[in-house]
Structure formats: C-alpha cells, structure tokens
Chains A and B, each alone.
Chain A
Amino acid sequence: MRSDPIRSLLTLGAGLALIVAGGTSPLAAQGKGTIKIASQSPLSGGQAALGEGIKLGTQIAIEKLKGPLEKQGFKVELVPFDDQAKPDVGVANARNIIADKDIMVVIGHLNSGVAIPSSEVYKEVDLAMISPANTNEKITDRGYPNVNRVCGRDDVQGPVGAEFAASTLKVKTAYIVHDKTTYGQGVAEAFKKDIEKKGVKVVGFDGTEEKSNFDPIITPIKAKNPDLIYFGGIYDQGAPFFKQAREKGIKSKFLGPDGLDSSDLVKIAGKAVVGMYYTTAAAPASSPQAKQFADEFKKKFGKSPEPYAAESYVATAIALKALESVTSGGKAPTRPAVSKAIRQVKYTGMTGSIEFDDKGDPKKASYYVLQVAGDNPEKWAENKEAKRLAIAAPTATK
C-alpha cells in the first residue's frame, strides 16, 4: 500500500529503460522499421505466475509467426510491461506505451480492474488492445473500436457456474465469498443472481480483502453448512481461504471462476482443493493443438504454460495477422488501421475459431467447467473437463 508511489516510479523508470533500449537497437535502422507488440501483465507480486504466462505466450507467438512481417522488411519485437496487477501502474505503463510510436498492439492485461483504465489511455490514440484474459463485461461493453478480447465474459461465466452447480452438482444451498475487486465481485454477483433464479438458496454473501486470516469468515460458513461455497476472486486469496476452510472441517463443495485457474492454487492449498470445480474461458490443454503448444512452451521455458498463455498466443497471432494485412505492399502500419484490421481477422487456433463482433467480443466463446485432479502443481494441465458450453456474447444493454 504505502509502497505504491515508489514502485510506480520504479516501474516508470524500468519502462523508460525498456523503451530506450528498444529504440537504440542497431537492426531497426536497416529495414523499414520496427513493429513492436507490447504485453502488459503482472510480472511481479502475487499474480506473477499468470502474468508471466501472458508475456511468454505472446513471446512464443511473435517468434513463431513473425516471418511474413520480416519478409516485408519489418523487425518485430516484444516489449513486456509489468502492471503489477495495479491500476495506477497499468495506466503509467500505458502512457509510456502510447508514447512509443512503434508499438502497434497491446496484449494484456490479466486483471480487468487494470485493463479498464489502461484501455482508456490506449483509446486516446486508437491503439489496439487484445485481451487474453479480461472477462469483465465493461471491457467491451464500452464499445471502443480498439478494445478486443479472445476470452469469454464474467456475465456469462457466473451463469455457467450457476448452471453447473444447479443442474450438474444439484446443490440446494450456496455460500458466496468474493474479493471485492471489479472482477471477483462481478462474477460473484452474476453467479448469485443466476443461481437464485434456479432455486438454490444463497445462505451468505460476503466480501473480504483479507489475505491470510480467514477464520472469522469461515466460522459462520461452518455454522450454516452450505452444499457449495463459491469464491469470486483470484487464486492467491482463494487458495488460503479454501485451505483454512478444509482445515476447519468444512465439507462443502468448492466452485470458483477462472481467477482460480492456476497451478499455484494447488501449490498453496494442496489437497484441500482436490475435487474443486472452476469455470474458465481458457481451453483446457486436452486438444491436440493445445497439447502441441504446451509441449513447445515447456521445451522453451522449462515449465508448463499457465492458463491464458495459450490465449495470449492466440491474441498475438490475431494481431500479427492484422498487421500483415495492413502492411501488404510494405507500407508502414498506423494504429487506427491496425485496430480496424483486427476486427476483420478470422482466426482458427487452439481455442477454436475466433471472429470479433462489433464490440470486440468473440462472436462465440467457449466456457468450460474443470475439476482439479490432484495436488501436484506440475499436473495442473491435466485437470479434467466436467462440462463445456458455447455461448454467444450477450448484446450490450445500454
């Protein structure tokens, strides 16, 4: 908390250093110029595992798919930014990003609460952003021409969870806990609304920013003994919560959104979360294409891809495709042209075929319910698919 201003300064410094380093690259002078793709995600702090995945997914895509652009004489570079999962840092980085005229696309963010204010900055110069992970409705409901996402939406993720809980798990009572963030509370409220419609009784709805001591929250839950506990939030908070709940003898089923989708969840909570369900817009690594990506990723970086690494790859692939179309004939791309071209791209990859509607949502997104298979973090990618739903994005309600 109190270290925020200092750290933003540091990040600003680091960001500037990156830009300077990029600008002085000797190769840039030889060709037609450099096209930079920026990634913005938390590379430090509690959510760094997921953020790093976004950066590496982007990196692998650029390295693999930059060929056509290089043939045109462009140099393609990745510029990673660390938003620290904080809105103020994200916006400060965004200012640096728009100041660098070579950056044509931003791949990011992890957190909706960071993506929303940062994309306001990108919009000023019509710089395209493709989000691999931001599921909050507001991301695309603002109708910005430059903002897109390859993943699903919270207002669908909540209902997917509710549908699964009510008709597959057949629970009668649910207790909902959320982390008070745009993301966590958003999903939790959507879940609550929908599950109540399906006749499940919500016996408690609590928000907390607590990160370590969940005792006082668990006590009333235990007394009410619900069939299901839904946690709307991110794994670094969800994991200790679930762990302490099991340690206190709570036997309810656990369900949560894609914020819990990280191998760190089992690293922290261990066997407490085995059998837990989570909904996600990230495709499980079971399809052959996804498996090939996972193998490649592992070979290159020595670890399994975190969730959203594949989505980042897809987002970057779409960006590169759009860049190819605007640079045909070797002309330099402009930011508005790239933004426009992205909406025209039709891409089929490991997460299915993606085509954006006029808000930047994928025309049809897949949602999955997965179950945690074991307490070994290495085997997170082997979590089993319990249910799959393909749902179109709802039309904007103004």
Chain B
Amino acid sequence: MSIDVALLANILPQVLIDGLILGFMYALIALGYTMVYGVLEFINFAHSEIFIVGAFVGVEILLSLKSAGRLDALPWPLVLVILLVAGMAVSGALAVTVERVAYRPLRGAPRLIPLISAIGISFFLQDLIRLVESIWRNAFNLVYPTIDVLNERFELTPTIDVSLKSLVVIVAALAMLAALHAVVNRTKLGTAIRAVAEDQTAASLMGINVNRMISLTFLIGGAMGGAAGVLFGVQYGLINPYTGFIPGLKAFTAAVLGGIGNIPGAMIGGLVLGLLEAFAASYLSLLTGGAFGAEYKDIFAFSVLILILIFRPKGLLGEVVRERA
C-alpha cells in the first residue's frame, strides 16, 4: 500500500488540534504533580482522583441544572464558568484536605511512606466516588449532558473542522496556565511558594508560614486538576470513577518529561505528549499501511519519551535545582 501523501497533509491541522486539546489537558493535570514535587519532593499519586473529582462536580451540576430545566435558559459561557469555578473549588479543597490528613502527619517520615499513603488515598477516593455515585445516581458511567451550542462546528476544509467546544477548552486552558504563571512569578504568595520550594528552613526563618504555603500549593494544583476534570468531561463526554487513572499517569509522565518540579516544564511536557499521542494515533496506521494501528500510539509516544529522557535525563526544561541545607 502506498502512502497517500495528500491525505496525510489534509488531516494535519485536525491532528494538531486534537493533540493540542489533549496536550493542554495533560498540562493542567501535570501542574498538580509538578508543583507538589517542587515543594515536597514527593509524587502525589492521588492527584489523578483529585482531577476526576472535578469532572464529577461538573457533571453533577450540569445534571442538576438539566433536571431543573435551567440548562438551556442560562447562557453557555456562564454555565461553563460555574462548572469551572465549582470544579476548581471542590478539587482544590479536596487536595488540601488530603494533604492535611494523609501527608502532613508523615512529613518527617522516610520519603517512601507518604508515597504509599498517596497510593492508598488514590484507591480510597476511587471507590468513594464509586460508592457515592452508585447510591446517588445508581450509575457507573456518567454522561455529560450535551450543550448543543458547544458542538457547533466551523468547517475550515471538507476534512477539517473545529468545534466551538475544542476552542473553548484550548482558550480556558491557556487562560488558566497564564494566570498560574502570573501568580507564581509576579505575586508575593508566588514568591513565598518558590521560597519554600527552594529551602523550607530558610523560608520559615524569613517569616514564611511553611505549612500554609504547602497547603496553598496543594490548593492551586488541585484547582488546576479540577478545572482539567471539567474540561475533560465537556470535551469527551463520558466519565466513570476510574477514568482519572490513565490521564493522571500520562500527566505525571508529562511532568517528568518537562522536568519535574518545573512549572513551565509541565506545560511544555503536556503539550509534547499530547501532540505525540495524537500524531501516533492518527498517522501510524496510514504511514505503515495498517501494519501498526492506533493501538500502538502509547508505545510510540513513550518510546519517544524514553529517547528524550536518555538525552535529557532532567527533562526538557530541567528539574528545579534544590540546595540541601
């Protein structure tokens, strides 16, 4: 089978858009991993559940609005803002609670201990969501009610079109990443967080409340995860209590790819991984004449990842360097 070059070129913009959406989603989730690592040098494995809780908050609000008959009455940007704010609030609060209950008491313990605690919390949250949803809605898979306006498509060429939904996801993700960047780099709180990340003892000597800054880190990371959850639900439409695991794992990978502990790194890592995956899934079968199909997308994406990490073991942008006291 010969390679249809025209076809490959035709779908390129669509593949780029698919990859960008996925990439921004990974980037938002990856922030939670990378910020916590930056401050505590520890992987918060419960973050994938904190992310999916955001998606559940979103679907619950949409379903309640729908059953109250208000969904079509409200303008969609307002609905979206409500979803995002609620998702961020709940996920952020959950992340702070998890830190307070499961990680802070273990802060002095060897580093593997809080890691195990995180895995435990992850299990716990998965099954807690399952329990709550099965009692509340008697459902396992929850479907995001469709907001018809968001499915409107702009046809660019006969093969390429962009839905309003995709644009909204990209814009929302960009806005949040920009806001986070500004908070971390331009505000006093951001400076304090960076100070704690660099040296906790010195920071506390400077009058910074270390515990509060750590809580704040979890709050911001959790809120970003919650926002990603809402966007994930709006974009892909179907969630269940275990949906968070795979995107969480990919986002963690994205964080490592960008250089764990490094905020711009997480963003770039997410985008790279999202694009790699989209390219592999769409092109592998076309390029190899069907010998390798879309099912090899993860193998391809992760092979590239291993290659990058062989040549840049600290990630694309490098790990944040800490000097131990």
A300 within 8 A of B: no
Report whether A243 and B237 are in contact in the complex, using a CB–CB cutoff of 8 Å.
yes
Report whether A270 and B140 are in contact in the complex, using a CB–CB cutoff of 8 Å.
no
Report whether B293 and A223 are in contact in the complex, using a CB–CB cutoff of 8 Å.
no
Report whether B238 and A239 are in contact in the complex, using a CB–CB cutoff of 8 Å.
yes
Q: How far is the CB of A49 from chain B (nearest CB, A)?
A: 8
Report whether B143 and A268 are in contact in the complex, using a CB–CB cutoff of 8 Å.
yes
Question: For residue A249, which residues in chain B have a CB less than 8 angstroms away from its CB?
Answer: 153, 155, 161
A142 within 8 A of B: no
Report whether B123 and A3 are in contact in the complex, using a CB–CB cutoff of 8 Å.
yes
Q: How far is the CB of B124 from chain A (nearest CB, A)?
A: 11
A357 within 8 A of B: no
Report whether A1 and B236 are in contact in the complex, using a CB–CB cutoff of 8 Å.
no
Interface size on A, residues (CB 8 A): 39
Question: For residue B182, which residues in chain A have a CB less than 8 angstroms away from its CB?
Answer: none
Report whether B140 and A216 are in contact in the complex, using a CB–CB cutoff of 8 Å.
no
A295 within 8 A of B: no
Q: How far is the CB of A337 from chain B (nearest CB, A)?
A: 40
Binary A-proximity of B132-171 (CB < 8 A = 1, otherwise 0): 0000000011010010000101010001010100000000
Report whether A2 and B245 are in contact in the complex, using a CB–CB cutoff of 8 Å.
yes
Report whether B295 and A220 are in contact in the complex, using a CB–CB cutoff of 8 Å.
no
A33 within 8 A of B: no
A247 within 8 A of B: yes
Report whether B294 and A223 are in contact in the complex, using a CB–CB cutoff of 8 Å.
no
Q: How far is the CA of A207 from the CA of B123 in the complex (A)?
A: 29
Q: Which of B58-66, B187-195, B204-212, B281-289 contacts A (4 or more CB under 8 A)?
A: B281-289
A204 within 8 A of B: yes
Q: How far is the CB of B313 from chain A (nearest CB, A)?
A: 26
Q: How far is the CA of A21 from the CA of B185 in the complex (A)?
A: 62
Q: A212-B238, A217-B281, A267-B143 are in contact. Are A223 and B11 (CB under 8 A)?
A: yes
Number of A-B contacts (CB under 8 A): 108
Q: Which of B14-22, B71-79, B215-223 contacts A (4 or more CB under 8 A)?
A: B14-22
Q: How far is the CA of A345 from the CA of B239 in the complex (A)?
A: 44
A222 within 8 A of B: yes
Listed in ascending order, the chain A residues whose CB lies under 8 Å from chain B are 1-3, 6, 44-46, 48, 180, 204-213, 215-217, 219-220, 222-224, 236, 239-240, 243-244, 247-249, 264, 267-268, 270
5 intermolecular pairs with C-beta atoms under 8 Å apart:
A205-B290, A208-B281, A216-B282, A220-B283, A240-B238
Of A6, A45, A207, which contacts B293 at CB under 8 A?
Answer: A207
Q: How far is the CA of A304 from the CA of B285 in the complex (A)?
A: 41
Q: Which 7 A-B residue pairs are closest in the complex by CB-CB distance?
A: A216-B281, A215-B18, A212-B236, A207-B295, A206-B293, A240-B238, A216-B282
Q: In the complex, which residue of chain B has the Cβ closest to the Cβ of A202?
A: B290
Of A1, A208, A223, which contacts B7 at CB under 8 A?
Answer: A223
Max chain B C-beta neighbours (<10 A), residue from A206, A212, A224: A212
B232 within 8 A of A: yes
Q: How far is the CA of A357 from the CA of B72 in the complex (A)?
A: 57
Of A204, A205, A219, A239, which contacts B18 at CB under 8 A?
Answer: A219
Question: For residue B10, which residues in chain A have a CB less than 8 angstroms away from its CB?
Answer: 223
Question: For residue B286, which residues in chain A have a CB less than 8 angstroms away from its CB?
Answer: 220
Q: A207-B293, A212-B236, A239-B238 are in contact. Are A46 and B281 (CB under 8 A)?
A: no
12 new A-B contacts at CB < 8 Å, known A204-B285, A223-B7: A2-B119, A208-B295, A211-B238, A216-B277, A216-B280, A219-B14, A219-B282, A220-B286, A223-B159, A249-B155, A268-B143, A270-B146
B278 within 8 A of A: yes
Q: How far is the CB of B172 from chain A (nearest CB, A)?
A: 17
